[in-house]
């Protein structure tokens, strides 16, 4: 069995008193939260920060106390673990990574949830939004 690990974040920005959430439409056809593979020796937050910078061009600040985990099988014989954090973007100007990301959108929570492809991503975004409300 192959084990893979990725890290990423539910990324938000506040605009006019409202949170907008970043979603990525990937070249493979699905819409998801920003995440990517852990490199050898890399800490979880470092992976998430690097992947966010590579895929979106954004600088982010992580919110303490939020760490959610999902697990799924991307292909037969593989189990993938993904760790998500909650991150606030320093701005909204993005630069999508052309090899992987078709487009990036900032959406209110309900629209972002509707746009996400996978139920696990929807659960992570809902949990992140709830954590902001605490």
Ramachandran angles phi, psi of 77, nearest 5°: 85, 10
Q: Which residue carries 């990517």 as its tokens?
A: 36
Residues 6 or more apart whose CB falls under 8 angstroms from that of 111 comprise none
What is d(CA 44, CA 23) in angstroms, rounded to the nearest whole number? 20
Q: Which residue carries 């982010």 as its tokens?
A: 60
- For the stretch 10-65, pLDDT in tens is 999 999 989 999 999 999 999 999 999 999 999 999 999 999 999 999 999 999 99
Cα-to-chain-centroid distance, residue 70: 12
pLDDT at position 133: 80
What number is the average pLDDT over the span 118-134?
93
| Structural domains in the chain, sorted by start | 2-133 (3.90.79.10)
- For the stretch 73-93, pLDDT in tens is 989 999 999 999 999 999 999
pTM of the model: 0.95
Partnered with residue 23 across adjacent β-strands are 105
């Amino acid at each position: 069995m192959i084990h893979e690990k990725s890290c990423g974040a539910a990324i938000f920005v506040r605009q006019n008193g409202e949170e907008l959430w970043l979603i990525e439409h990937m070249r493979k056809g699905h819409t998801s939260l920003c995440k990517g593979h852990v490199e050898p020796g890399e800490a979880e937050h470092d992976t998430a920060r690097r992947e966010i910078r590579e895929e979106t061009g954004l600088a982010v600040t992580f919110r303490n106390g939020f760490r959610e985990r999902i697990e799924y099988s991307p292909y037969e014989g593989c189990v993938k673990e993904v760790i998500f954090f909650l991150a606030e973007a320093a701005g909204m100007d993005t630069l999508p990574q052309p090899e992987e990301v078709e487009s990036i959108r900032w959406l209110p929570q309900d629209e972002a949830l509707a746009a996400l492809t996978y139920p696990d991503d929807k659960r992570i975004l809902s949990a992140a939004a709830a954590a902001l409300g605490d």
